[in-house]
Amino acid sequence: MRTITKDKESWKANVDFVALKLNEDYSVAVKAKALWLLGETGLKYPEEIEPHINDIAGYLENDESELRERSANAIGRIGRADKDLIIDYIDTLMKLKYDKTENVRHAFIWTCENIAANAPELFCEKLDIFYEMITDSHEKLRIEAPEMFRVVGKRNPNCVKPYLEKLEYIAENDENQTVHIHSAGAIRITKKALEEI
């Protein structure tokens, strides 16, 4: 798989070979690599990944946190290319907001940003989740959460409009400089998009 990973031109032709590495005969490390590769391939060739979506999404509920994280990342990349391929797994994905592992919760935000880049409407009713995550106890999550508002605000600013006042408070008062910057960026992008409507 190392050779395939380095040769992007071979990704499309090797989808089935890589997907076979998701079966129980392989180690966590091999499965994690396969999930990453399938996700990146899915961004370029979503139609080739379609037969394997169920296997990829199955790892969202795996006991191994690394596999939950990689599965989420893969779903995000595939969903960025074609939301219809991952729509059936959105509810399972959303459960990762409660995951006990910080890296998985971080991957959850990043995944949602990827999908929202081309399908912001899937998250309009779910933005409370990301607003709450701005006050998460883990700094990495607090830094990433405002980025969801920037992504959605650029493409569907009316969804973010009700949060602008709350985001302004965070931008002015949060003690973390990066949270401040990301919140201010989300406000700026959303306001600009509103003006253009």
Position 6 scores a pLDDT of: 79
Residue type, 136: D
Position 83 scores a pLDDT of: 98
7 pLDDT higher than 90: no
Position 189 scores a pLDDT of: 98
pLDDT band at 8 (very low <50, low <70, confident <90, very high): confident
Position 5 scores a pLDDT of: 79
Specify the range with the lowest mean pLDDT, choosing from 2-6, 75-79, 81-85, 188-192: 2-6
11 pLDDT higher than 90: no
Position 29 scores a pLDDT of: 96
10 pLDDT higher than 90: no
pLDDT in tens, 73-90: 999 999 999 999 999 999
pLDDT in tens, 111-150: 999 999 999 999 999 999 999 999 999 999 999 999 999 9
DSSP letters of the chain?
A: -HHHHH-GGGTGGGHHHHHGGGSTTS-HHHHHHHHHHHHHHHHH-HHHHGGGHHHHHHGGG-SSHHHHHHHHHHHHHHHHH-HHHHGGGHHHHHGGGG-SSHHHHHHHHHHHHHHHTT-GGGGGGGHHHHHHHTT-SSHHHHHHHHHHHHHHHHH-HHHHGGGHHHHHHHHHH-S-HHHHHHHHHHHHHHHHHHHH-
Position 9 scores a pLDDT of: 82
- All domains of the chain in start order, with CATH: 1-118 (1.25.10.10), 123-197 (1.25.10)
